[in-house]
Amino acid sequence: MKLKISRNKIIILCITLIFGFMTLFSALSIDANYIMFKEKNPIALLAKAIGFNEIKPVSQMWVMLTFFVIWLIIFVFSVCFVDSYARSKEESPYSTKYLFTYGVILLICLVLSFGVSSLFYIPDNFDIYGLSLAFVFESILFGLLITVFLGLICFVVVGLFINIKNYHKPLFNITENNSIAEPKMEQSLATTFNTTENDKVLSTSSNVVSTVSVGNNLKEKEELFKGLTKIDKAYLNSGNLNLDSTSLSLKKICSNLQIYLANTCSLYYDIANLRAFIAGLAASNLIILEGISGTGKSSLPRYFAKFIGEDAYFEAIQATYRDKSNLLGYYNEFTNTYMETDFLKSLYKASIYPNHLNFLVLDEMNISRVEYYFADFLSVLEYPEDERYIRIMEIPDGYDAPSNLKDGLLTITPNNYFIGTCNKDDSTYTLTDKVIDRAIVINFNEHEDKLDFNKEVDPIILTYQGLKELYINALNNNDYILKENDLKNITNLLKQINDLFDIVIGNRIIKQLEIFIPVYRSCGGTIDEAIDFMFKNKILRKLEGHFESSLKQSLTKFKKYLLNDFSYKLNDTISLIDKYLNRLM
C-alpha cells in the first residue's frame, strides 16, 4: 500500500505550523507580564481596543496553550494521513466512515490537550482555570488573525509576481467562438484499453494520477516537458546518425560476448544463458532474470549494452510502486508542470532514435507487485508494434507538444526491451502466470566458475535494425525453423502436460516457441536445449507451490514419457521434475 502525500497536504501542514507559531507569538504579545514584548506592542494595543482584559499568565496557562498547539498539529497530521490512506484504498475520504474517524481523532486530541493540561492545576489552582481558557482563546484568535493577514500578503505578492511575469499573455485562452475553452476530462475506466477511431490501442489506468484533465491552461512545452523538449532539441542539432551494424552472426555475438564479459568485466556466464538472453529478445520485449543474489543478473544487461555500444537505464523498483505514474511521472497541478522521470525520458529518447537498442532494467522488479506498476506495459506489449501507445496525460487540441508525444500519447517503440531482475526471498512477491507467460525467464541459480580465454574481443556496434535482420535470417533458415515433425512432437508434449497437470498452454507461448527455438539454434545451441529451456522455465514452473497428492503420480508419468516417448532430451526439465518429486516425498 502506497500513501501519497500530495502538495496540498504539505501546504496544509505548513499553514498549521505557522498558525501554531503565531498563536504562541500572540500569547507572548498579550502577556500582561510583558516579559518578552513592550506593553504598547501592536497586538496588546489591539487587544485593549477590542476590550479584552489583561491577563498575567502563570505556568499552568502556558502549559495549556502549548498542549493545544501540539495536539492541533497532531490532529491535522492525522487527518492528512487518514485522507491519504482512504485514497490509496480507492475510497472516498469524505464518506461517513472517514468523517466519523476525523471526529474521533478530534475528540481524542481535545481530550488529551485540555485533559492532560488540567492535571497541572491539581490540587489548588482550579480557580484560575476559567482565566486560563480566556488566555488560550485570546491567543488563538490573534494567532488566526495574523496567519490570515500573512496569507493575504503572500497571495497578493505571488499574484503580482505571476501577472508581471506573464503580462504579455492573455488572461484566458479564448477559442474561435470567443468562449472560454472547457477543459477536457479523460474518462476514468476500470478497463485496460480504449480504442481510437482507427482502432489503435491506447493503454489507460483507472488509478493513475498522471492521466489528468488540464484543459487549455498549459504552459509552453519548454516548461511543461522540459526533459522531452531537451531531447527534441538535441535530435534537431545532431540528427539520427546512421550506424553501421556489426556483420557478426548471432553465434559469434554470443561467443564474443562471453569472452568480453570474462576478460573485460570479470563476469562469467554459461554460454547457454547468453544464448537464451539473445534469443529471448527475439521472442519477447520482456526478459526476466531470476535467481539468487550475486549471480550477475543486473550485470548482464548493463555490460551487454556496453558490448553493443549502448547504455542500459536502471530503475530501482521500490516496494511502494503501485501504478504507472511511478515509472512515467505525473502532471503536477500545483506547479502546472509534468514531473518527468528518467524512465519516461529513456522511453521517449528511444522513440526519437528508433535504430538504437534501448534496455530498461527494472531492478528487483518483484519487490512490488509487477501487475500494479507495470500493468499498462504488460498489456500494450501484446499488440502489433505500430499500435503500442500509453497515454501520458490529456493534452488540448492544437497544443504544441514534444514531437513524439502527439495527443498526449507515447509510442512504445519495438527497440525498447524491458529487463527485470528478480530475487527469490521472503521480501519479494511471486511472479504470476500473467507475467511469466508474457516474458522469457532465465534462471541464475548457480555461481559460475571462472573462465579463461586466451583471445581478446572488442565491443561491437549493434543496431536495432541489424539485430532484427539477424533474427529474420534465423527464422527463414530451413536448418533452424521447426519442421512438421518438430511441431508434432511439441504438440504431443503440450497435450501430455494438459492431460496430466490440467495446464492449458495458450497461443502466446506457442508463438514464443516458434521464434525462440530457431533463434536459439542460430546462436549456436541445439533444438533439444531450446525446447528444454522453454519447458523448464515457462511451463513446468507453473507447478511451483502445488502440493496436491495426485501431483507425484502425474510427475512420475510425465518423466517416464520424456525418457521413453519424447524425441528430444530435456535434461534440465527432468532435473526439475526430480526436484519436485523429492519435495513431495
Rounded-to-integer distance, Cα 250 and Cα 470, Å: 7
Q: pLDDT at position 450, please? A: 87
Q: Which residue has the cell 496544509?
A: 12
Q: Which three cell numbers stand for residue 209?
A: 494520477
The answer on pLDDT for 206 being more than 50 is no
Tens digits of per-residue pLDDT, 281-340? Answer: 999 999 999 988 888 899 999 999 999 999 999 999 999 999 999 999 999 888 888 999
* Count of alpha carbons within 13 angstroms of residue 112, beta-carbon side: 14
Q: Alpha-carbon distance 353 to 362, whole Å? A: 21
Instruction: Give the residue from 536, 571, 469, 533 showing the smallest Cα distance to 280.
Output: 533
Report for 91-95, 376-380, 546-550: range of highest mean pLDDT: 376-380
Is the pLDDT confidence value at 2 over 70? no
User: Which pLDDT score, from 0 to 100, does residue 545 have?
Assistant: 67
Is there a contact between 473 and 522 (Cβ–Cβ < 8 Å)? yes
Kind of pairing between the strands at 193-195 and 416-423: unpaired
Is pLDDT above 90 for 6? no
Banded pLDDT at 353 (limits 50, 70, 90): very high
**Nearest Cα to 263, choosing from 303, 313, 308, 312?**
303
Q: What are phi and psi of 521, to 5 degrees?
A: -65, -35
- 3-state SS assignment for residue 44: helix
- Phi first, then psi, for residue 403 (nearest 5°) are -55, -35
pLDDT at 210: 39
Give the type of residue at 559: K
CATH architecture of 189-237+248-455: 3-Layer(aba) Sandwich (3.40)
Residue environment code for 127-162, b if the CB has 16+ CB neighbours within 10 A, otherwise e = eebebbeebbebbbbbbeebbeeeeeeeeeeeeeee
CA distance 554 to 504: 15
Helix axes of 42-50 and 7-30: crossing angle, nearest 10 degrees: 80
| pLDDT cut 90: percent of the chain above it | 41
pLDDT band with cut points at 50, 70 and 90 for residue 239 = low
Q: How big is the chain by its Cα radius of gyration, in Å?
A: 33
Report residue 262: phi and psi, to 5°. -75, -45
What is the average pLDDT score of the chain?
84
Q: Give pLDDT, residue 87.
A: 72
Least confident of 129-143, 169-183, 427-441, 557-571: 169-183
pLDDT above 80 for 93? no
What span, in angstroms and rounded, lies between the C-alpha atoms of 271 and 259? 10
pLDDT at 194: 36
Q: Tell the burial category of 560 from Cβ atoms under 10 Å away from its Cβ (0-12, 13-18, 19+).
A: exposed
Residue (of 209, 223, 362) closest to 298 by Cα position = 362
Strand, helix or coil for residue 36: coil
> Which amino acid, 76?
V
With contact defined as beta carbons under 8 Å apart, do 413 and 432 qualify?
no
Measuring CA to CA, how many Å separate 354 from each of 227, 414, 518?
Answer: 18, 8, 25
C-alpha cell at 128: 484560575
The predicted structure's pLDDT at residue 445 = 82
Which whole-number Å values give the CA distances from 466 to 49, 242, 367, 463, 470, in the listed order? 85, 12, 35, 5, 6
pLDDT score for 167: 53
Report, as an integer, the average pLDDT of 135-140: 87
**Model confidence at 123, in pLDDT bands (50, 70, 90)?**
low
Three-state secondary structure call for residue 544 = coil
- pTM comes to 0.65
Do 220 and 336 meet the contact criterion of CB atoms below 8 Å apart?
no
Cell numbers describing residue 584: 513431495
Question: Per DSSP, what are the bridge partners of residue 258?
Answer: none
CA distance 235 to 474: 33
Top pLDDT among 343 and 124 is at 343
Lowest-confidence segment of 105-119, 203-217, 249-263 by average pLDDT: 203-217
352 Cβ neighbours under 8 A, 6+ residues apart: 231, 232, 235, 240, 403, 404
pLDDT band at 97 (very low <50, low <70, confident <90, very high): confident
Strands, E assignment, 216-368: 286-291, 312-316, 330-332, 337-339, 358-363
On whether the CB atoms of residues 324 and 210 are closer than 8 A, the answer is: yes
- Burial of 384 by CB count in 10 Å (0-12 exposed, 13-18 middle, 19+ buried)? exposed
Contact in structure between 103 and 110 (CB atoms under 8 Å) = no
Q: pLDDT tens digit string along 368-398?
A: 999 999 999 999 999 998 889 999 998 888 8
What's the pLDDT band for 547 if we cut at 50, 70, 90? low
List pLDDT tens digits, range 166-201: 654 455 443 333 333 333 333 332 333 333 333 334
Residue 3: pLDDT band (50, 70, 90) is low
The confidence band for 115, taking pLDDT boundaries of 50, 70 and 90, is: confident
pLDDT of the residue at 203 = 43
Pick from 423, 393, 417: nearest CA to 405: 393
Check residue 580 and give its pLDDT. 87
